[in-house]
Amino acid sequence: MNKNKPAIRPCKANLSQPLSQLMRAARSPRECRILMLLWEHQGILTHELGEKFGCKSNNHHNVSQDLNPRLIRLGWVISKYPAGQPSESWRWYLEPVYVALQKPIRKDLRRTIHKHMEAANDE
């Protein structure tokens, strides 16, 4: 296996929220589809969302930005990591917030997590 391209693995997290609960946070069929794909194919590349699985879009990033605040309150987050050169596709994961916070996530995602975790604790 190529060290730069880890294998896509099914989600192994078995925490308190099954996929069906996370799906309730989705507000559109497109968000549901992205969640299903990420749950089933951890580490999927951005271009594979469209080319391999038919999620046609010019900006999948907007889906994660809109969906993450709702997922974070459930303890999960969509995170993306570079898969190689800056111009290449990124790897996408649906992972528990505590796992994402231990990784080198983008600063704006880290701020979003803290903001929405605080809001969830206030409720």
- Please, what is the Cα angle at 88 between 87 and 94, to 5 degrees? 125
Its CATH architecture, for the domain 19-122, is: Orthogonal Bundle (1.10)
Q: Tell me the sheet residues that pair with 95.
A: 77
User: For 14-95, where are the alpha helices, taking DSSP H only?
Assistant: 19-23, 29-40, 46-51, 61-72
Residue 30's pLDDT is what? 84
Cβ proximity of 35 and 67 under 8 Å: yes
Q: Over the stretch 20-42, which tens digit does the pLDDT of each residue have?
A: 888 888 888 888 888 888 998 99
Instruction: Tell me what the mean pLDDT of segment 61-72 comes to.
Output: 86
Q: What is the DSSP letter of 3?
A: T
Least confident of 8-12, 34-38, 97-101, 119-123: 8-12
Stretch (H or E) spanning 44:
strand 44-45
Residues 21 and 1: their CA atoms lie apart, in Å, by: 34
Residue 71 neighbours by CB under 8 Å, 6+ apart? 22, 25, 77, 78, 94
Domain ranges of the chain: 19-122
> Which segments within 50-118 are labelled E, that is strand?
76-82, 90-96
